[in-house]
């Protein structure tokens, strides 16, 4: 983010947030991220009972505690912007809970792949969206993002399981495809109801037209990254 001598960086956030439509989009975005992090926390912990041992459950619990800390940072920022964090996040619960209900892992490996895929798509999305945000909001999103991806446990365990039984790769590849499909379905459900959020995600402002080619572009970039990641993991997606 370049700053010319005439523009004080401390003024930028105020200027951007003075636009009520931009502000509405940002608040919706923070609510979506906060609710997503909270459900990721709850689900990681609940699904860790599938782990083969206590060591893995302890590792998952630390990753989950990081998601909860993100959720609390996001709630604090929402409150700073004058919105009610709980009411705002609650609005995203139905779509996000539908996603989790449709992707309840059947075993530990599916749980690991879900944690990894979810974390990675979230990270890609955060990075993409951060480019469209005012500096203060972008910094918060980047901070949350930097702590994601502590999922080395996934890479080790999934590669080990495939080495032990190569048939596992096919099953998990299908699972990875299903996770992306369900995520895109719920993203569409959310987008249909949240115009300020969609305009913010696509253009960084409310006034620009929300044309479909851009949405397809974003979806395409997230999908390509997802496919490349699953391939790197030994899953031909």
Q: Which of 38, 99, 125, 206 binds a copy of itself (CB under 8 A)?
A: 38
Within 48-107, residue ranges assigned H as helices are: 54-80, 85-90, 93-102
Q: Which residues contact 236 (CB under 8 A, 6 or more apart)?
A: 169, 173, 230
Residue whose pair of structure tokens reads 């999305």 in the numeric block: 125
99 binds a copy of itself (CB under 8 A): no
User: Per-residue string for binding with a copy of itself, 195-234, x by CB under 8 A?
Assistant: ----------------------------------------
How far from 153 is each of 55, 169, 207, CA to CA, in Å?
Answer: 11, 17, 43
57 binds a copy of itself (CB under 8 A): yes
58 binds a copy of itself (CB under 8 A): yes
83 binds a copy of itself (CB under 8 A): no
Is the Cβ–Cβ distance between 232 and 156 less than 8 Å? no
Is the Cβ–Cβ distance between 92 and 164 less than 8 Å? no
- Please choose, out of 16-24, 34-42, 118-126, 162-170, the segment that lies near a copy of itself by the rule CB under 8 A: 34-42
65 binds a copy of itself (CB under 8 A): yes
Is the Cβ–Cβ distance between 43 and 103 less than 8 Å? no
Pick the closer one to a copy of itself by CB: 55 or 192.
55
Give the residue among 49, 235, 89 at the shortest CA–CA distance from 158: 235
Q: Which of 17, 28, 36, 41 binds a copy of itself (CB under 8 A)?
A: 41
Binding site for a copy of itself (CB under 8 A): 35, 38, 41-42, 45-46, 48-49, 53-55, 57-58, 61, 64-65, 68, 71, 86, 89-90, 93
């Amino acid at each position: 983010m370049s700053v010319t001598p005439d523009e004080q960086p401390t003024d930028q956030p105020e200027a951007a947030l003075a636009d009520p439509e931009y502000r509405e989009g940002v608040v919706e975005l923070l609510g979506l991220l906060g609710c997503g992090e909270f459900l990721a926390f709850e689900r990681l912990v609940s699904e860790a009972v599938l782990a083969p041992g206590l060591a893995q459950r302890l590792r998952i619990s630390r990753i989950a505690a990081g998601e909860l800390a993100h959720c609390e940072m996001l709630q604090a920022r929402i409150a700073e912007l004058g919105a009610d964090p709980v009411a705002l996040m609650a609005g995203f619960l139905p779509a996000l809970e539908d996603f989790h209900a449709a992707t309840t892992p059947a075993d530990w490996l599916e749980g690991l792949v879900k944690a990894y895929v979810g974390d990675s798509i979230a990270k890609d999305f955060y990075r993409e969206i951060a480019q469209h945000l005012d500096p203060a909001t972008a910094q918060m999103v980047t901070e949350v993002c930097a702590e994601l991806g502590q999922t080395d446990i996934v890479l080790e365990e999934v590669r080990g399981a495939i080495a032990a039984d190569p048939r596992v790769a096919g099953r998990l590849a299908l699972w990875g495809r299903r996770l992306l499909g369900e995520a895109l379905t719920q993203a569409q459900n959310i987008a249909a109801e949240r115009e300020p959020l969609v305009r913010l995600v696509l253009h960084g402002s409310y006034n620009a037209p929300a044309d479909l080619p851009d949405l397809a572009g974003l979806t395409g970039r997230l999908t390509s990254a997802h496919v490349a990641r699953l391939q790197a993991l030994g899953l031909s997606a």
